[in-house]
Amino acid sequence: MGISVALCTHNGERYVRRQLASILSQTLGADQLVVSDDASADGTVAAIEEELDAARRAGAPVPEVVVLRNAEPLGVTANFESALAACTEDLIVLSDQDDEWETDKLERLAAGFAARPGLLFLHSDAVLIDDTGAPAGGTLFGALEVSDEERAQVHSGAAFPVFLRRNLATGATAALRRDLFDIARPFPAEWVHDEWLAVQAAARERLDLTERPLTRYRRHDANQIGAGDPTLRHKLARVLGRRGDRNRTLAVRSRLLADRLAAADDVREGYVEAARAKAAFEQTRADLPSSRVRRFVPTLRLIAGGGYGRYASRGRLDIIRDLLQPA
């Protein structure tokens, strides 16, 4: 099984050398490295080319390298779509620019797919590290508060209801078969690439996770996308922050998902209807009155209908959010 690595970068000169070194030092080497740089204004691409040249001079194995340069920034999702389109091997492993891989990451991911020929998407836990690379305490699944129940659902093959509520997969930890990319493209602008790929695989019951951390996931101030901090203070800030357009965006995303799944012939019966029900639930939340008093009755109706348990990413916390958030 050939392996492509899709490394997306944007002004990543500060960290990308360490990430690239971890990719090149794998116990099972990649066959192809696709670098898609999103209009970096620093020396990101030069740093990558210097590291690759140094590895070649040292006699280290270096995969086939493809470097794409976007003249204008595409954004995270479109940049990853561009990188994935250039990948030619059957197994594609996603890479951010600022993490570091465990040396056996590719070997373990490849083994996971080999053991389950029907699998389309596999993601793992990660150890959190700080700006310097030192352990920051905890893991990615811990920061995301992935429950035992959610893990069991994913392992059983019934991941779609979990991923319809919220995304558990972080792209920096994920790998996919190229077949999934062909299914999922084009990526909707309203979705992040890892969420979209994961939910498409989950809808086909061909997604799993591995508990073993295979990535050292760096948290720093320049993260474009990353795991939040599950502290009480953070949760309260989310609950009491202004409502904005979050629920309206979730409704749009769910409608897009339902439309794409409805056009497919390999999606389990009921999943299209579930996505449409999620869209209706989020639209109702978006349309709640600005007055907290007037929100009480419609929120009670949503509670009685079971929507918060089936579709809200934070369950009971989202009930509190809908009752208390200022407009």
pLDDT one-digit tens code per residue, 7-44: 999 999 999 999 999 999 999 999 999 999 999 999 99
> For the whole model, what pTM was predicted?
0.93
Give residue 62's pLDDT band: very low, low, confident or very high (50, 70, 90): very high
Residue with tokens 């080999």: 114
Which pLDDT value is given to residue 225? 45
Which pLDDT value is given to residue 229? 59
pLDDT one-digit tens code per residue, 225-278: 455 555 545 555 555 566 678 999 999 999 999 999 999 999 988 999 999 999
Which pLDDT value is given to residue 326? 86
Instruction: Specify the pairing of strand 100-101 against strand 91-95.
Output: unpaired
Which pLDDT value is given to residue 56? 97
- Identify whether the C-beta of residue 93 lies closer than 8 Å to the C-beta of residue 87: no
Task: Please return the burial class of 186, using the count of CB atoms within 10 Å of its CB with bins 0-12, 13-18 and 19+.
Answer: exposed
Distance, CA of 69 to chain centre: 23
The predicted model gives 99-105 an average pLDDT of 98
Q: What's the N-to-C CA distance of the chain in angstroms?
A: 52
Distance, CA of 49 to chain centre: 27
pLDDT one-digit tens code per residue, 131-178: 999 999 999 999 999 999 999 999 999 999 999 999 999 999 999 999
CA dist., res. 178 & res. 33, Å (int): 15
Q: Give the count of beta carbons closer than 10 Å to the beta carbon of residue 290.
A: 9
From 97-111, 228-242, 301-315, the region with the lowest mean pLDDT: 228-242
Which pLDDT value is given to residue 224? 44
Distance, CA of 169 to chain centre: 4
At 64, give phi and psi (nearest 5°).
Answer: -60, 135
Give residue 52's pLDDT band: very low, low, confident or very high (50, 70, 90): very high
Q: Give the count of beta carbons closer than 10 Å to the beta carbon of residue 241.
A: 12
DSSP sequence for 159-213: -HHHHHH-----GGGEEEEHHHHHHHPSPPTTS-HHHHHHHHHHHTT-EEEEEEE
Instruction: Specify the pairing of strand 64-69 against strand 3-9.
Output: unpaired
CA dist., res. 203 & res. 200, Å (int): 5
pLDDT beyond 70 at 220 = no
The predicted model gives 195-208 an average pLDDT of 98
Residue 321, SS3 per DSSP: helix
DSSP sequence for 222-276: T-SS------HHHHHHHHHS--TTHHHHHHHHHHHHHHHHHT-SSS-TTHHHHHH
Express as a percent the part of the chain with pLDDT over 70: 93
Which pLDDT value is given to residue 149? 97
Which pLDDT value is given to residue 230? 56
Domains of the chain, residue spans = 3-218, 232-324
Mean pLDDT (the chain, rounded): 93
CA distances from 87 to 48, 50, 133 (A): 18, 22, 29
CATH superfamily of 3-218: Spore Coat Polysaccharide Biosynthesis Protein SpsA; Chain A (3.90.550.10)
Which pLDDT value is given to residue 223? 47
